Each structure stands twice: as structure tokens, then as C-alpha cells.
Homo-oligomer: A and B are copies of this chain.
Amino acid sequence: MEQRTYNQYCATARTLDLVGERWTLLLIRELLTGPKRYSDLQAGLRGLGTGLLATRLKHLEREGLVHKVTLPPPARTPAYALTEAGQELGPAVLALARWGLKWAMGERRTTDTFHPGWAVLGLRACFDAEAAAGLRAVYEFRVGDEVFHARIDDGTIETLHGPARRPDATIEMSEEVLVGVTGQSRTLAAAIADGAASASGDTEALRRLNGLFRLPSPRSRTSD
């Protein structure tokens, strides 16, 4: 089973040799918000069969982008995490996401799955480092039965799956509302203002929240 390659001495092609196959970058997207178990990965990637998932994981492991870990007690169950090399694909994945937010989102189709983690990663894609200068805050997001948190520290952001230890502020909303925010049919601020989302915690942290993310104005590709 020879590995397929573009056979080009080019940085882009070499990267795509490693992560350009179908599902691979989405697998990495899943892991960018923290380690995940096999079944969680399957759940996040409907359509990816168990066999292909195993193949992809083994490939990424062999190539040093992913490694197998054992979740800390009380879980003690095996999971997959990104190595440093894998983590550093974050900027590339987020660049693809930024492009998609501007040029490809549109409405949610009835056949589209949706997971809150994708929107949380979208926050990271839209994070405005300059607007966060001097801010140090942890926000917890509760959506349906999923919890995420964003840790902001003076121009840097980290978005992880799971609860925060001591969040400065907590924002809670339904999955539907988050879908609306993702597609920019409403802003997070508007959702909070009209009660579709509830926010609590440190007033100053909440006040600064709105300015931290700069969403691109959606554009149509067909009319240029």
C-alpha cells in the first residue's frame, strides 16, 4: 500500500501529502478543541466509516501529527490528541474557516449536521488580537449539553472542549441560536440582548466580549 504523493518539492504540496486526503483536516479540526475519543470523533464526522477513521488515525499517528493518550482519571479511557506539529496546523485550518465564513456559509441545509464545537472554533478564527489587548478572561459557553471555554490572555486565545475551572463569565444558549450566530443571521450581542442567550458573570468581561471577534461580511461568489 504505497502512500500517494504529489511528488512536488513544494511546501504546500508536501503538507497536502500529509493532510490533504478526504476527512483528514476535519479530523484535525475536531482535535483542535482538545483530545477526543474514538467514538466522539465518529460522532463529529458523520459519513466517515469506522474503518476509514482507523486508517486516518493510524496515518496521522505514524506521521507524528496525532498521538494516543489516556484520559486522566476518572475517565481513564483512550483518546487521541494533537502533537505539537498537529497543533500548529491550527492557523491553516482557521484560515480555511475564515474563508468559509466569508464566502461559503449561507443557510444551514436540512442535511447539514452541526456541532457547537465548530462554532467555538469559529470564534478562534475570528479572534481579533488587537481588540483583546490587555484583557485576561475566561468565558464558558454552554450549548445544549456541550460545554466549551475560551481563555483569552492579552492577544491570545485558546478554545477548548469542556468546562472552565473558574470562568469570569458564562454564556448559555440553545443550539438553534448558535446556528443563527454562526450563519450571521444574528449577532451574539443581539442574541444576548433579546434574551435568546443568557449571560452572567463579571460585567467588565461581558462588556468586552462583543468586540473580541470580527466576523467577515458574507459575500457571494457568483456575482463578481
Q: Which residue of B lies closest to A48 (CB)?
A: B6
User: A178 to chain B: closest CB distance in Å?
Assistant: 10
The docked-state distance in angstroms from the alpha carbon of A98 to that of B47 is 30
Pairs A-B, 10 closest by C-beta atoms: A64-B221, A11-B100, A15-B100, A10-B118, A92-B95, A9-B112, A14-B104, A11-B97, A95-B95, A9-B108
Apart from A11-B96, A13-B118, A85-B224, what 20 extra A-B contacts exist at CB < 8 Å?
Answer: A6-B26, A9-B109, A9-B114, A10-B29, A10-B100, A11-B101, A11-B104, A11-B182, A13-B26, A13-B100, A14-B100, A15-B100, A16-B26, A63-B221, A64-B220, A64-B221, A85-B219, A88-B99, A89-B99, A92-B95
User: A53 to chain B: closest CB distance in Å?
Assistant: 14
A20 within 8 A of B: yes
User: A180 to chain B: closest CB distance in Å?
Assistant: 11
Give the oligomeric copy count: 2
Q: Are A93 and B7 in contact (CB under 8 A)?
A: no
Q: List chain B residues, Cβ under 8 A from A15.
A: 96-97, 99-100, 103-104
Among B12, B46, B99, contact of A96 (Cβ-Cβ < 8 Å): B12
Contact residues, A11-30 vs B (CB, 8 A): 11-18, 20, 22, 25-26, 29
